[in-house]
Amino acid sequence: MKPPVEPKAEDCCNSGCNPCIFDVYEKQLQLYHISLRGEGEKLLEGENGISQLNYTTFVVTEKIIICDSHVLIKFKNLESHKKVTWSAGDHFLIKYYGETKSCTKAYTPLHFDKDKDSDFIILLKRYINGLVSNFLYALEIGTPTLWRGPYGSFKLFPNKYKRMFMIAQGTGIATFIKIIEDVLK
């Protein structure tokens, strides 16, 4: 296992993520020290096509305009053949670099089983004054973007509840898609 790279202050999105990038770093650092001592199970490295600590480049492969303010954007890592995996309720962070500002923004990844041409998809709502949403909306096919993740702490326990009620607004429904798929499996 390689030592984790300590995140910079600008890597935190200040959105109260659970876990925060700094929490992820601390956990990875503990795992690294355990691996150095030869304790614990063999730590599998590099199985996921996206990393929680390092940005991975994904290019836009397709854009499907739903209406003038919503679009589905498909992304693929052209350099790796590793499958991108995540759990229900997880999100990815995109790194935005502007002329005067850089930031990160969380988006819920989607995947459709029949879609073999992308690693993940996001459902984007474009906001008039939205810095990152306007950046993503304007992306062209082949444009590289930087992503990291998955992050999240939602746990689904099979057969624990008789009913499940879910409330979402707007594109927030994207999170529910994987949760519903997992419940139905």
pLDDT tens column, 115-149? 777 899 999 999 999 999 999 999 999 999 999 98
Q: Is 127 annotated as a binding residue?
A: no
pLDDT tens column, 42-81? 544 557 899 888 899 999 999 999 999 999 999 999 888 8
C-alpha distances in angstroms, 108 versus 5, 52, 101? 24, 14, 23
Top pLDDT among 55 and 164 is at 55
Q: Is 131 annotated as a binding residue?
A: no
Q: Is 69 annotated as a binding residue?
A: no
* CA distance linking residue 116 with residue 118, whole number of Å: 6
Determine the 3-state secondary structure of 37 from DSSP. helix
Top pLDDT among 123 and 181 is at 123
At residue 153, the pLDDT reads: 76
Most confident of 37-46, 81-90, 168-177: 81-90
Read out DSSP for 114-148? T--S-SEEEEEE--TT-HHHHHHHT--TT-EEEEE
**Farthest-apart Cα atoms in the chain, separation:** 55
Q: Is 118 annotated as a binding residue?
A: no
Q: Is 43 annotated as a binding residue?
A: no
- Which of 54, 47, 64 minimizes the C-alpha distance to 4? 54
What is the CATH class of 9-155? mainly beta
Q: Quickly state the pLDDT bin for 161 (edges 50, 70, 90).
A: confident
At residue 163, the pLDDT reads: 85
Q: Quickly state the pLDDT bin for 39 (edges 50, 70, 90).
A: low
Listed by start position, the domains of the chain span 9-155
